Structure 1
Amino acid sequence: MKKLIPIAAATALLMTACSSGNYAATQLPAEPTESTATAPAGTSDQGCSDGKDPLASYTPLASQPAPMKMPDKSWMRTIQDRGRLIAGVSADSLHLGARNPITGQIEGFDIDMINAVADAIFGPPLPGQPHKVELRVISSPARIPSLRDTKNPVDIVARNMTINCERWGQIAFSAEYYRSGQKTLVQLDSKATKVADLSGQKICAPAGSTSLENLKKKNPKVIPVTADTDTGCLVLFQQGKAAGISGDDTVLAGDAAQDPYAKVLSERFSDEPYGLGISLNHPEFVQFVNGVLAQIKADGTWMDSYNKWLMPDLGPLKAPPTPVYGRVPVHQ
């Protein structure tokens, strides 16, 4: 099926110029290294050694500090003194983190999570004023390195990142803030109903993502290709360089909304629990963030954000994910 790139997707490309502009398909096994930076000695959480639950994060602080009263020597105080929270986000994942072509602002469910953390540190902004956040647009492969960069790190990453044992060995995670699952997007006239029907076809998944590994495990006979961003995969699909896209249902819902010639298969073949990524060097900041998440889940803010950004495409949700705590930093 020949098709033109829809206006929405073309606009997304123009508005995400700080991401990679080269959308040539990268065929595996040329896999990128997710993290090249070196964390200081003694900060590794050792993944899931000793039977640790990968979803277990650090228990929230016994008492959340009030805005602008962050404890001395804490990372929250560093952020307060700096005057802004620095967050790594996507700008091309519709409904999660995407640049609004009218306002130029990056918005979505992930951005709401970041704004809640910033407001807990600085207090809610005055009407008409922005949240005290610096949003840095990063690619999927840059999520972990951006937290481990010793010269210019981000404080937190909210970019539909799945919590798993391997990543816990490199960064820390908040408690789960959303539960996604992997599906596959194909052309509207495709006869495929599941990944097993796509043997021998090129399927795109973002480099450095768990989607890529899950896809290869689910059907080793597909030909995986990669792009640095979700939009990169969408463009490869629209250019006929990939027969489909495999990824989180949250992302694929946004892709399908931009392309009337696409559909998402109903088969869901993984659970993808999202966590906010934070450096292992700052466990007190993880505890603080977990307190923020607990509060917005309890007071309805989380559900309001879900209903605004994700419910129209993914349907109603009864409740947010239940947090799991009990992990202890190894250097404490």
Structure 2
Amino acid sequence: MLTGPRTEHDHGRRASRVRALVGMFANVGAVLAGCATPDRVTPAVTGDYTQLSLPDGTQIIPPSGTAPAAPAAPSTCGALASLRPGPSVPAGPASPGRLVADILARDRLIVGVDQSTNLFSFRDPSIDTLEGFDVDVAREVARDLLGDPAKVEFRLLTPAGRFDALEKNQVDIVAQTLTITCQRAERVAFSTVYLEAHHRVLVAGGSEISGPADLAGKRVCAAADTPSLTTIQRIQPQATIVAVPDWDDCLMVLQQRQADAVSTDDAILAGLAAQDPTLQIVGPPLETEPYGIGINKTNTALVWVVNGTLARIRADGTWTRFYDRWLTVLGPVTGPPAPTYRE
């Protein structure tokens, strides 16, 4: 045990011992290298992608064999028609309703999003904040309701957790590429449609897959608890579905050849393709996917406010500005979808 500082002589002796040991190990290594067969620079590849580890929570859904019946279109059940806009900020002690009053009292809007849907809601690593089309729309709701677009608290949700969070009032709204369906409209309220996407297919460059017919016998990735799962089963019942927790998981499994394709809304696929130039969207546009903002079914006053915000950003050019900032990869549009209101 050393009880005082090392001297220059001590350091010199220690360095000599280290050099001697290094030389000894080098000689031993040389002898062993001469006797052993050198390893391959690149390990041999065996097996196929099914042997790789998939993201936690992934489910493999085997081919259904028979295409399920198509669900009722949201236009047939009235799901696309929402409440007419009310005042931007409800006035008077009784008019806001309990849930809107809670938002005004806490002075911030709690918004359910994710951080893995590129172009819509994703974390920008350069500034460590959430960005995207849906994030910008949510901030406009906060501007109209609370007077400041910064008064937003974002809570990260998986696709499977969105509706429970709304029903339990853990979030005020969900802005998360949320497709309006008849089944979903039984659980939550929706705003008017603020964007229309179309179901398509994403593959790696050079893939033999050019459309839904080529998905037979292939593994197709989709996020769990989304309409994309049943859409894939309808358009190609002979496909195996790789159901993952989030859309960025689909990007990973496609890059690692754990799936042959991803199939969902072209808006989401464009965000995946923007992160990897070797990927491409193929095939014709399939089913239309109307996006709405999800709101607790009892929070009528907040539906008024959200629809008021959507009406304003359609009219004043804000919607177009957001589209031009984030979504030009989807191609030119004539403008935002026209709203449909319940009489």
1:175 aligns with 2:208: no
Give the secondary structure class of the aligned counterpart of 1:211.
Answer: helix
Tell me if the contact between 1:116 and 1:292 (Cα under 8 Å) persists in the aligned partners. yes
The equivalent residue for 1:136 is: 155
TM norm structure 2: 0.77
The equivalent residue for 2:55 is: 22
TM norm structure 1: 0.80
The equivalent residue for 1:54 is: 79
Tell me if the contact between 1:23 and 1:236 (Cα under 8 Å) persists in the aligned partners. no
Please, what is the CA RMSD of the aligned residues? Answer: 2.4
The aligned amino acid for 1:92 is: S
The equivalent residue for 2:277 is: 260
The equivalent residue for 2:13 is: none
Deviations 1:66-110 (A, max 9, x none): 799994435322101112100110211111000001001001000
Deviations 1:164-188 (A, max 9, x none): 1000111110000100111110110
The equivalent residue for 2:340 is: 324
Tell me if the contact between 1:253 and 1:314 (Cα under 8 Å) persists in the aligned partners. yes
Deviations 1:129-165 (A, max 9, x none): xx1011011111111111112xx61100011010010
The aligned amino acid for 1:290 is: N
Instruction: Name stretches of at least 5 consecutive residues in structure 1 with no aligned partner.
Output: 1-20, 31-46, 126-130, 328-332
Give the secondary structure class of the aligned counterpart of 1:325.
Answer: coil
The aligned amino acid for 1:28 is: I
Distance 1:64 1:241 in 2: 48
Tell me if the contact between 1:25 and 1:236 (Cα under 8 Å) persists in the aligned partners. no
Distance 1:299 1:49 in 2: 28
Decide whether aligned partners of structure 1 residues 69 and 95 sit closer, same or farther in structure 2, where only a CA change above 3 A counts: farther
- What is the percentage of aligned positions where both structures have the same residue? 36
Distance 1:267 1:48 in 2: 19
Report the CA distance between 1:208 and its aligned residue. Answer: 0.6
The equivalent residue for 1:118 is: 142
**69, 81, 102: which one pairs with 2:105?**
81
1:4-15 to 2 correspondence within 5 Å? none
**289, 292, 295: which one pairs with 1:272?**
289
Distance 1:67 1:178 in 2: 30
Deviations 1:212-270 (A, max 9, x none): 11111011011111111001111111111111101111111111111122111142111
**307, 311, 329: which one pairs with 1:294?**
311
Deviates more, 1:100-109 or 1:137-146: 137-146
The equivalent residue for 2:46 is: none
Distance 1:121 1:67 in 2: 11
1:306 aligns with 2:323: yes
Number of residue-to-residue matches in the alignment: 282
Higher relative contact order, chain-length normalized (CA < 8 Å, sep 6+): 1
Considering only CA atoms, is the larger Rg found in Structure 1 or Structure 2?
A: 2
